Structure 1
Amino acid sequence: MIIIFGLSAFVSWRLRSKFNEYSQVGLSNNLSGAEVAQRMLNENGIYDVRVLSVEGMLTDHYNPQEKTVNLSADVYYGRSVAAAAVAAHECGHAVQHKVAYGPLRLRSALVPALSVSSRYLQWVILAGILLLQTTPIPLAIGVGLFALTTLFSFITLPVEFDASRRALAWVQNNGVVNQREYGYAKDALWWAAMTYVVAALGSLATLLYYASILMGGRRSD
């Protein structure tokens, strides 16, 4: 767990470092992130998705329910390689939504159950550990709920990698970036993807930890 925590901290630091670095590299065509996003949506035949500016840093995301591409101010107004890469990535999710990309549909289907379980998960786990010598049932339920969270984390991986693949292909094929800028964009999105990889591994490690407590308690009965 300590290794995972350290790796997560390193990847998060590296992502912010890369974003800051490539935010200083102006896009040769001088398009803003919002303009890149709108252009990618239009060229993929998507006209019912709005591009919005939201507060915060690295708060960029696509909302399939509201059909909005939400870009942080640095990305929305920025005219840098980082802004273009992030904007195109989020639009990659909109393209996934349009073509009914399987992993995205599966992840979206899990959201309602995950939102409910997340409210009670920590309390169920705590109660399960405290009551383990009496009954393993609460902890078993907690492990099951946490397994759902871990599953969600791993389903997220192909969704994020595919969105980056679509983004990079589009910015390259449509002349949004030159060869040098493409390399920077690819590097930035790779580090962004690594945050999801570390999160999934961290979730798996935690799941195995709780499962080991459950199995240890059952063997002691």
Structure 2
Amino acid sequence: MILSPFYMLLIGLTLVSFLIQWRLRSKFTQYSHIGLQSGLSGKQIAELMLVDNNIHDVKVVSTEGRLSDHYNPADKTVNLSAEVYEGRSAAAAAVAAHECGHAVQHATAYSMLQFRSTMVPALSAVSRFMPWILLAGVLMIRTSVIPLGLGIALFSLTTLFSFVTLPVEFDASKRALAWIDRRGIVTTQEHAMAKDALWWAAMTYVVAAISSLATLLYYVSIFMGGRNRN
């Protein structure tokens, strides 16, 4: 059986995603074993960055899971995994500062973060039934294109969200790297490692966005084919 170009593209993107995830974990493990000359922990770095940006209403807390680090704008917490929270490495410094970069975005009303935040409630509401609508749309394509059209409209929101996420993540990394360098948190060599770790993390979002777009176009191609037959 010869696979269609869309299927080949999706398979290729899936493989690339796995490789990037593996590379990210590999880099994080590698840089986690290299201690910072400053000796600061991820928790200390995060708290220092918040203070330097005049942010006093955000808490730095430890959370379960590996690479589960995130900033929660709802309760204003910087959630760091145990190895980042307690870690004193280039990897811990990069991740801690990156998540605080999101807190700085929130405090300064960064437009793309605000836009992404407004999309979250709608995406949470549609994510539960969107796959079923898409499945029904594909199965019913010979009789009606309306269900698939609705599914495509909903899926386009997730694709838009994935692309809006890109500038938010890149900007947070940019803020993080500029601050740890300016504050003397890292040496030149440590800065290079932190930058490399954040670059691989950013690539996971890039591949996710491209994969979402490819999937959306796949459904659109089915929709167009069904409309021409009906």
Tell me, yes or no, whether TM beats 0.5: yes
Q: 2:96 aligns with which of 87, 90, 101?
A: 87
Q: Report the counterpart of residue 162 of structure 2 in structure 1.
A: 153
Find runs of 4+ consecutive structure 1 residues off by over 4 angstroms: none
Match of 1:35 in 2: 44
- 1:75-154 superposed matches below 5 A: 75-154=84-163
CA–CA distance in 2 between the matches of 1:183 and 1:55?
A: 27
Deviations 1:100-147 (A, max 9, x none): 001000000000111011011100001111111111111000001000
For residues 27 and 2 of structure 1, the distance between their equivalents in structure 2, rounded to whole angstroms, comes to: 39
Structure 1 length as normaliser, TM-score?
0.99
**Deviations along 1:25-65, whole A, 9 cap, x unmatched?**
10111000000000000110000000000000000000000
Structure 2 CA distance, aligned partners of 1:180 and 1:132?
57
- Please give the alpha-carbon distance, in whole angstroms, between the structure 2 residues aligned to 1:203 and 1:62: 23
Corresponding residue number in structure 2 for 1:211: 220
- Deviation at 1:15? 0.3
Per the alignment, residue 3 of structure 1 pairs with 12
User: SS where residue 71 of structure 2 aligns?
Assistant: strand
| Structure 1 CA distance for aligned equivalents of residues 66 and 107 of structure 2 | 27
Number of positions where the alignment pairs a residue of Structure 1 with one of Structure 2: 221
| Secondary structure, counterpart of 1:22 in structure 2 | helix
CA distance in 2, matches of 1:220, 1:28: 67
Residue identity matched to 2:40: L
SS in 2 for 1:69: strand
SS in 1 for 2:80: strand
Amino acid in the other structure paired with 1:93 = H
Paired position in structure 2 for 1:49: 58
**1:205 CA displacement:** 0.5
Within the candidate set 8, 13, 31, 1:22 is matched to 31
Partner-residue secondary structure (3-state), 1:135: coil
Q: Which runs of 5+ in 1 are unaligned?
A: none
* Identity value in percent: 63
**1:76-108 per-position Cα deviation (integer Å, ceiling 9, x unaligned):** 000111001000000000000011001000000
- CA RMSD of superposed structures (Å): 0.5
- The Cα of 1:220 is off from its aligned counterpart by 1.1
Q: Which amino acid aligns with 1:209?
A: Y
Partner in structure 2 of residue 162 of structure 1:
171
